[in-house]
């Protein structure tokens, strides 16, 4: 039977849950030349999704650079053979900061573990490494997960929130086992990703910058996405940063700005058209969506009478 090849489900794409434990087993670390190591574009959520080059500001390595300058790299990097280069060349799987610090320190060799790690395991390795840090970048970790969902399902990244809501509501079958995968990786429930965590894709660039700079919590920033194209959204961001608002304070302030007037109004056709978007319908539960559809049938019948 011919046809398009099936995409792997997300669970198989994540791969072996023990991969990181295996990389530290044994004593087979070796020294390799720094010049033989390549950075995989857009692999590590902490940096590569912002900048595809291996460079990073030196102040980001302030906690690491002094010890590497004086003692060298003590914890081996994790590499895999580079299938696109000559033998003896490798791709970096884990240890981006250590590699950058080693380069800045002028080291020509670093200790490494070399493992055959498929593309399907890269996301889990990257997230595991970043979560082991004292201050993991939650925004970039979540973005990495959403990009993996997009790549596995074939759904464009900007449409992933609607896709997740369809899975949550049961209006689309979870053939890629997204919910099972999120749970197996300890990343939370599908419903949480559909309702809140996927909303990071709706953040404006300056809002992302505020989150990554530690000026605003990620949880608080998501409240701004409910303002959509409200003209005061940039001003609210500025106030939230200046006043160090948390999610509850920001939500209450936004509600005072966006709360509709209590004056009686007659719904307009334009208002109905604005509300009946595919995205809004996807956010409704199955029961509410059925109610809306029944009312639309009645409306069509009234207009045709």
Using alpha carbons, list the distances in angstroms from residue 7 to 104, 117, 124, 193, 240.
41, 19, 19, 22, 42
Contacts of 238 (CB under 8 A, 6+ apart): none
Cα(173)–Cα(24) distance, integer angstroms: 38
Domains of the chain (ranges; CATH) run: 10-131 (3.90.1530.30), 137-201 (no CATH)
Structure tokens belonging to residue 225: 């996405």
- Give the confidence band of 265 by pLDDT, cuts at 50, 70, 90: low
- Give the confidence band of 49 by pLDDT, cuts at 50, 70, 90: very low
- Is the pTM above the cut of 0.85? no
pLDDT in the model for residue 46: 53
**pLDDT tens track for 38-47:** 887 766 555 4
Using the predicted structure, report yes or no on whether residue 229 has a pLDDT greater than 60: yes
């Amino acid at each position: 039977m011919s046809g398009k090849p099936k995409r792997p489900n997300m669970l198989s794409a994540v791969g072996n849950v023990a991969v990181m434990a295996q990389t530290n087993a044994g004593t087979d670390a070796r020294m390799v030349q720094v010049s033989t190591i390549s950075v995989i574009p857009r692999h590590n959520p902490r940096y590569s999704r912002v900048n595809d080059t291996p460079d990073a500001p030196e102040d980001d390595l302030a906690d690491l650079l002094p010890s590497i300058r004086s003692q060298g790299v003590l914890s081996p990097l994790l590499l895999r053979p580079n299938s696109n280069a000559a033998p003896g060349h490798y791709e970096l799987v884990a240890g981006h900061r250590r590699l950058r610090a080693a380069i800045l320190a002028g080291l020509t060799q670093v200790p490494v573990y070399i493992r055959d790690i498929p593309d399907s395991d890269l996301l889990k390795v990257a997230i595991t490494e970043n979560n082991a840090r004292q201050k993991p970048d939650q925004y970039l970790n979540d973005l990495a997960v959403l990009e993996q969902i997009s790549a596995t399902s074939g759904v464009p990244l900007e449409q992933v929130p609607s896709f997740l809501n369809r899975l949550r509501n049961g209006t689309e079958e979870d053939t890629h086992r997204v919910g099972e995968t999120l749970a197996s990786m300890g990343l939370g429930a599908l419903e949480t990703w559909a309702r809140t965590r996927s909303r990071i894709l709706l953040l404006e660039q300056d809002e992302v910058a505020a989150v990554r700079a530690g000026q605003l919590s990620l949880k608080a920033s998501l409240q701004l996405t409910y303002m959509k194209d409200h003209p005061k959204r940039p001003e609210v961001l500025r106030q939230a940063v200046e006043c160090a608002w948390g999610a509850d304070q920001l939500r209450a302030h936004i509600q005072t700005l966006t709360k509709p007037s209590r004056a009686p109004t007659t719904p307009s056709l334009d208002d109905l058209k604005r509300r009946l978007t595919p995205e809004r319908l996807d956010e409704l539960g199955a029961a509410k969506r059925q109610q809306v559809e029944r009312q639309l049938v009645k409306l069509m019948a009234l207009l045709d009478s």
